[in-house]
Amino acid sequence: MIEAKRKLQWLSYLPNIITIGRIIALGPLVWFLWHKDYQTALIITFFAGLSDGLDGFLAKRFGWQGWLGGILDPLADKAMMLLCYLVLAWQSVIPAWLFLMVVLRDLLIVLGTSYYHFKIGRIKQAQPTFLSKCNTVLQILLILFLLLDLAEWWHLPFGMNWLFAAVAFTTLTTGIQYILIGRRMARQEQKTC
């Protein structure tokens, strides 16, 4: 019985292995995007999305969540998103101003969280807000619809401008929202000291 458990213990590493595979897939994804092979890039993006869902399901279903997966999974997701935005902005598919908004918001969150953690107090657990989750969904949809359009597999009947505007709006508002949350947390921390 114990021997069988040990043999199956390697399965607990499966979510991290899948996530590492997704990180490795970033190289080919960027290469195909750069060379405007949008169909292949779309296929890689599709399988990356499936693998993201699979590793999350396995980790939660079987209790295989760990510190490494908690770092690698969001890192893989964010790296994929930013690299897609970077290449598509470089190719003038995504407006440069939108790319800068997305990058500056993420940089603001990372720097603000780091400052808070090291100068004010430990952050127990960072949870994204509902609006931030909406922003992430819109950013993903923008990449998906752009790749579908560029691969000439499907075109949005009413164009992309509304999606650019929605991503810009939620990016700006969540950036402001996180600044306000950080200020409120800092004030509460100072009251308890």
Residues 181, 131 within the same domain: yes
Confidence bin at 8 (pLDDT 50/70/90): low
Arithmetic mean of pLDDT over the chain: 90
Domain boundary among 92, 114, 139: 92
CB atoms within 10 A of CB 19: 25
Residues 79, 167 within the same domain: no
Cα–Cα distance measured from residue 39 to residue 148, given in angstroms and rounded to the nearest whole number: 8
CB atoms within 10 A of CB 85: 23
Residues 43, 133 within the same domain: no
Residues 43, 116 within the same domain: no
Residues 75, 104 within the same domain: no
What pLDDT shows up at residue 4? 59
Residues 144, 163 within the same domain: yes
Domain boundary among 92, 111, 144: 92
Cα–Cα distance measured from residue 57 to residue 54, given in angstroms and rounded to the nearest whole number: 5
**Number of folded domains in the chain?**
2
Q: Is the pLDDT of residue 185 over 80?
A: yes
Residues 75, 151 within the same domain: no
Cα–Cα distance measured from residue 100 to residue 106, given in angstroms and rounded to the nearest whole number: 10
Residues 23, 80 within the same domain: yes
Cα–Cα distance measured from residue 127 to residue 55, given in angstroms and rounded to the nearest whole number: 19
Residues 99, 184 within the same domain: yes
**CB-CB contact of 69 with 56 (8 Å):** no
What pLDDT shows up at residue 70? 84
Domain boundary among 58, 92, 126: 92
Residues 84, 116 within the same domain: no
Q: Which domain holds residue 121?
A: 94-193
Residues 35, 60 within the same domain: yes
Confidence bin at 123 (pLDDT 50/70/90): confident
First to last CA, the chain: 52
What pLDDT shows up at residue 66? 86
Residues 86, 103 within the same domain: no
What pLDDT shows up at residue 44? 97
